[in-house]
Structure 1
């Protein structure tokens, strides 16, 4: 097959040419690349030599070939989604999955891998090489290399179907989120709502009806358009005084993608059924056990034990928090007996303002994106010794808002780069925030090193008119969180792509660097480095900073309880639930919520129809990872607290140790070994409970 001409996906490039990639480029590029990859795969299979150079290196090269084409396509499907791109993505996804299965299920390669693992040569491998070899063998087993005949055919058919179902799930969430809109043209309905929200709702209306025969909107007089996109949904639920409107929007959110043409119910049932069947074909009890086979947690039972240990203290704390919130609401004129789900955010915001004497809208002018980035970069220089410089000259982007940065080490050597896509675009960008891999670090045979490049993607409120992007403090934490993921990808010192950055890291340890970085938002020097008014550059007063720190534990029990609820829903659906049984997924969801919520659950709640983490995002039977890794991250940060958060020299010393272990070693060593090298001992849960204000 000839190489396609004028196709940006197969041209030699340092960075993807996003603006040139069109839907019609995808199939020719995929077909050509898979054809070339199969030739190389055949050469590996037919080689009689058994060595790292003849086996692992060419397999790695094949994987990189395919990733170079498919990775930018997958990325664009998330950040520049369109109907033609979506169709092309889905049409080629099956071929990508099929080739992945061919590689993983090659009996010749599997036998060669096992032979290499038993050879004398293996004893000379470094720790990362041994881990990579073990992971190749483990992945092959979990991909069905041991299956034959009808079982193998069924497994592969299920794998292809699952990839399509998960993509369909994600598309339905995106489309259902876009579909809902609430038009408000009565000024009394938005009375007392913050100006920042009104400006966004007005701008959303203008963008929606631009060029159409509709009256124009202003923040002061409307009309205003409310959507289910996070920058709109969250402040609306927190500040809309009209209870009936809050109920309408809340119920629309928890029933997203649960009816009509974007209904995910069938997708969920099939995904659970197919995962369970695949697990059975592999000889496992269910998918939860498959998931745990490659994680840090030793067993499904250990996950339940962690959730149980945290459930009781968080539930008791949440009960008191809700009782106090209910009493506060009544003291402020709330007439009903109990708060409902659509009331809690509204009254919690008011109670928080009452207790701590500040509002989010008062704080946002002090958290401009540009100032927060500067504070984050200054912190990174102080504790990790890296310099971050914006440099987007000649950088091709997928949107004009995207920015590009380079990272330099203490010798001023360029070591990594990252894209930042900060703003919400509900028309074609999926919600949430994430770090993705653009280029993975690896050392080539000629001793040159591919420098890692990351995608950092968020959904912050964009600039409104002449006002720059202003963040909530939760947005600030999100930015620090995703940057933590990026640091692990970009500061790795591992030269093998299968173990550099987050690759090869057990999934339940991946959140350690990200959650660790969130703690620095409250670090006094860091905070005052970015908390400057966007117009005057006046620094936020220290009294408000102290109140912000005090408010960190506000509703902490409820926050932890919610995460435990998500983790248990995920684990029980993949461990205890029978997708072909008489109990529906919604009944199972309801049963878990009853055990893990202080509010009576709503019968119509269909939250899981939008639970992309576990049905389209790689966290299946793994959502518990957030809490598992939070134990590690809290304990890791406590070492900085022990040496003194104002002790610059000690912070730098411990920061470099964190960089040289957690951020550098990637998947080259087991995460428990890495943690103990940093902390000097196994992790303890005490620091996590203390950070939530719960009893140790």
Structure 2
């Protein structure tokens, strides 16, 4: 085993990995794991050390190697890497099916649960055993003959379709660009976007492009698309860009529409093979929400609280713009003008106060304040996949290392998928090394797609990019501050999907906290802090258009549920008709006829959010209620903030997946979650008369 991909432990050796070794290395690894699995099945004893520990070691060898390749697919995509990934993916899925459907392992877990040893296991260990039993059942362990063969064929096809969906979206986003050459075409665009668009033009071979004279290239990548929609005075160009954006991956060689039909049909068939009537029911069997009805009840409560507010927001926007026929491509532009007028707040004017290095300092100071940890640069201590990537150490108050994380902050549309995410690099675990217990520290990947540095400027962030970074750091801290020593329940492992957004959304609230924001917002050139008046404007503008924003999330959540619970490939209602029906009660502006948003909805067709997109709202109830605990204690009371922060760390962060999330929430909050704080934070509570 000479390939660096076969080390199976430690930090990924990114600088040593060559794409042409992926297929042979993974083939060799899967053959070795197959032998180890057969041996374990023949020799296992139904105890923790005789079953769970060797199985975890076997699974981790696979996730270490395959995790590196999956990570590179997200951050350094290339035709060669895709080819290698697609060549080996079917073998990985086949092995995963073999593992999930092992009768010997399943019976071993059942015997362990019924053995006298059961009562001696810690709650975390019991949850891991229960989770393994449930996952085996959902992996088709109870199927045999033709049903098992069909189930496995579906797994393979779904894996391929998901990868294709993601690649189509990346390619379609990358393929479109708008080259602007005259001052009239860039009317209204702020200097930061002109500089970025000129830099994009230079990267595409137009070497003489400058921010002042152009040419300027606008793309469908968020740091380019969104500012253009907010600031371009050219309504015709906004329309052109908007129509291209909503049609992404819906035509030609990158058309995701046939893939969506296939994915939904296969998921339904898979669920029915396992005895569920719909894929949504299958999805919810491993989530915190008890039923589809419970989710729909919550979403309806939020819909009723936000619909009238969203209608009013749009009416006010039309009146402000003096445009009765307000179109989709007008909304971002005019809402930005209205926000400036109402609150005297200019998003672009704030950028110089949020250079990435300064934002990181503020974020790390907050982590120290809340969780009593110190975060320091550890660049050079780990191999990285791109020169922009940073590496950091998280230490306790005695300066002992607790965890590490990578940060890959900038947009790279040619090779990096859009959005932002946290992923696991290494899990925390207690291991034996040469007979001695050893603690393996967790390592996280934090990936964003914010505005990159331009020329001699650092990355000057929008306030939205700041909240995104805080969000992903929340996921990261959940993974890194776990106190669970068993991989299967450490950090985010074994945390129900609709509770996993709690720490991330919780961290976003701190972007509006006065001490936090004013502590990090300093002008990158003068060093002057953000004026108090600007902070007050940000605060005042916080609930601007929140009805519309809430309603859009509810639309997506309900659409996802509807597709996975009520849509039938041979039914009377098409996907488009279903979306249009839902839009009547969940959108104020009906989608354009050519709006093919679902073709770029990677969360549910290429990510883990199928029949689970509602998780953002479900967890937002938890996160708003959790932040309310700090508000009740007093945000200005430093010792109270530290006390509640320690309790948050000791419960929500430390306990990971070792207990049911409702039990963990109760330990932190002392009661069940309530929706009041979420509605209050969004300005959507009914006003007292």
**TM-score, with length taken from structure 1:** 0.97
Match of 1:248 among 215, 240, 254: 240
Cα distance, 1:19 vs. partner? 2.0
CA shift digits 1:567-616 (9 cap, x unpaired): 01100000010123353322322222222111132111100000000001
Partner of 1:369: 356
CA shift digits 1:538-570 (9 cap, x unpaired): 001101101101111000100100000010110
Q: Does the 8 Å contact 1:29/1:69 carry over to 2?
A: no
Cα distance, 1:639 vs. partner? 0.6
Q: Does the 8 Å contact 2:381/2:391 carry over to 1?
A: no
Q: Does the 8 Å contact 2:354/2:521 carry over to 1?
A: yes
Partner of 1:149: 145
Q: Does the 8 Å contact 1:590/1:603 carry over to 2?
A: no
1:17 maps to 2:4: no
Partner Cα distance (1:39, 1:463) in 2: 49
Q: How does 1:238-387 map to 2 (within 5 A)?
A: 238-330=230-322, 334=323, 337-387=324-374
CA shift digits 1:42-82 (9 cap, x unpaired): 12211252211111111111110101111111000110001
Q: How does 1:393-432 map to 2 (within 5 A)?
A: 393-432=380-419
Partner Cα distance (2:157, 2:320) in 1: 51
| Structure 2: segments with no counterpart, 5+ residues | none
1:283 aligned counterpart, secondary structure: coil
1:35 aligned counterpart, secondary structure: helix
Partner Cα distance (1:81, 1:48) in 2: 40
Going from structure 1 to structure 2, the CA distance change for 1:535 and 1:139 (only over 3 Å counts) comes to same
Partner of 1:130: 126
1:221 aligned counterpart, secondary structure: coil
CA shift digits 1:180-239 (9 cap, x unpaired): 111111211212211101111111111012xxxx57211111111110000000001101
Partner Cα distance (1:14, 1:118) in 2: 36
Partner Cα distance (2:590, 2:117) in 1: 61
Partner of 1:563: 553
1:515 maps to 2:505: yes
Partner of 1:534: 524
Partner Cα distance (2:526, 2:512) in 1: 22
Partner Cα distance (2:85, 2:256) in 1: 19
Partner of 1:184: 180
Q: Does the 8 Å contact 1:511/1:625 carry over to 2?
A: yes
Q: Does the 8 Å contact 1:204/1:225 carry over to 2?
A: yes
1:603 maps to 2:590: no
Partner of 1:645: 635
Q: Does the 8 Å contact 1:441/1:452 carry over to 2?
A: yes
2:384 aligned counterpart, secondary structure: coil
Partner of 1:662: 652
Partner of 1:220: 212
Q: How does 1:100-111 map to 2 (within 5 A)?
A: 100-111=96-107
CA shift digits 1:98-119 (9 cap, x unpaired): 1111111011111111111111
2:277 aligned counterpart, secondary structure: coil
Match of 1:33 among 17, 29, 37: 29
Q: Does the 8 Å contact 2:44/2:51 carry over to 1?
A: no
Q: How does 1:77-88 map to 2 (within 5 A)?
A: 77-88=73-84
1:646 aligned counterpart, secondary structure: coil
1:174 maps to 2:161: no
C-alpha RMSD of the superposition: 1.0
Partner Cα distance (2:452, 2:641) in 1: 34
Match of 1:548 among 522, 535, 538: 538
1:401 aligned counterpart, secondary structure: coil
Q: How does 1:386-535 map to 2 (within 5 A)?
A: 386-445=373-432, 446-535=436-525
Q: Does the 8 Å contact 2:389/2:408 carry over to 1?
A: yes
2:657 aligned counterpart, secondary structure: helix
Cα distance, 1:169 vs. partner? 0.3
> Which stretch has the larger CA shift, 574-583 or 224-233?
574-583
Cα distance, 1:394 vs. partner? 4.0
Partner Cα distance (1:442, 1:267) in 2: 39
CA shift digits 1:441-496 (9 cap, x unpaired): 11113311111000000001111101110000000100000000000000001011
Q: Does the 8 Å contact 1:273/1:580 carry over to 2?
A: no
| Structure 1: segments with no counterpart, 5+ residues | none
